[in-house]
A and B are shown apart, each in its own frame.
Chain A
Amino acid sequence: MTERISVRVPSDIKYSDLVHSISRQICFNMNFCDRDIHFVLLSVSEGFTNAVVHGNCSEPGREVVITYEIAQGILSIAIEDEGVLPIEENTGHAREMPRTEDESGRGVSLIRQFADEFTLVNVPKRGNILTMIFSVNNKSREAAEVHGEA
């Protein structure tokens, strides 16, 4: 059985704290380990910031919808904005990590690093939809082993 939780917030970065809290609680309920939770929250933070700043271009009156789908240790998170242009066209973000001296452009690369699956599409007359899938004890366990934590 899949549970679905949807949150619709005004397109304002001040709501990132609320989104952070909801995401944390969902991860906690799913028994993600601390490291998993940290990087799921980071990915959500990057996605929400991109939606507000780049997707919706910080225009008041627009909204961001975050939808969590929970099933069998798999968490799918979709972040949808009302942007007309694709986020990557708006930002010119390369898919690789930017140069170290760059002050921006790391958000999508970080999501790519931590999500098991990742898609970012622009649907005409609707907006950008970022979808990230995280599974309990998958990618982060492997990384934790590399860092000698497991």
Chain B
Amino acid sequence: MEVSKEQNSGYTCLHLDGRLDLNSSSQLKDQIKGLLSEGVVNFIIDLNGVDFINSSGLGTLVSILKDVRMVKGRMVLCNLAQYVHEIFEITQLSHIFDIYPTEKQAAETFSGSAVNVG
């Protein structure tokens, strides 16, 4: 899985590309941990390029969400493919994640947020 980072005012957007499963999830988790240690606390996770996610990938996102909340940050998801969104509905994870159709809509929710330190 490819992860590209885009620093913006008030949030950092991570664009994911590929499959989010046990093979790739540690890569994402390590990257977020690194950013958290640099003081970055607000994230948009852009899943536009993720065409497959399994329970390991879901578990990783839940774990990251907990880590972000621990430091009083925010993490939102956007651009979920239809089947990926369906998995979030079935597992009821759509109840604990803020999910937006587009990155623009997700970004608007950060207006007025504390700017990332990192």
Contacts and interface: CB of A to CB of B under 8 A. Distances in A.
A53 B59 contact: no
B59 A103 contact: yes
A102 B62 contact: yes
A101 B83 contact: no
How many residues of B sit at the interface, in one of the four size bands?
A: 20 to 34
B72 interface: no
Contacts of A17: 23
Task: Output the residue of B55, B63, B87, B96 with the most chain A CB within 10 A.
Answer: B55
B91 A45 contact: no
Contacts of A53: 22
A45 B63 contact: no
A42 interface: yes
Interface stretch (A61-69, A71-79, A105-113, A123-131): A105-113
B104 interface: no
B86 A147 contact: yes
Contact of B52 (A42, A97, A100): A42
A16 B20 CA distance: 12
Interface string B51-65: 010111011101100
Contact of B91 (A20, A38, A97, A147): A97
A104 B91 CA distance: 11
A14 B60 CA distance: 18
Contacts of B52: 20, 38, 41-42, 45
Nearest to A107: B55
Nearest to A34: B83
A137 B66 CA distance: 38
Interface string B93-110: 101100000000000000
B4 interface: no
A46 interface: yes
A16 B95 contact: no
Contacts of A16: 21-23
B83 A100 contact: no
Contacts of B23: 13-14, 16-17
A104 B22 contact: no
A38 B55 contact: no
Closest 4 CB pairs of A and B: A106-B55, A103-B59, A45-B54, A38-B83
Interface of A: 13-14, 16-17, 20, 35, 38-39, 41-42, 45-46, 49, 53, 97, 100-107, 109-110, 113, 147
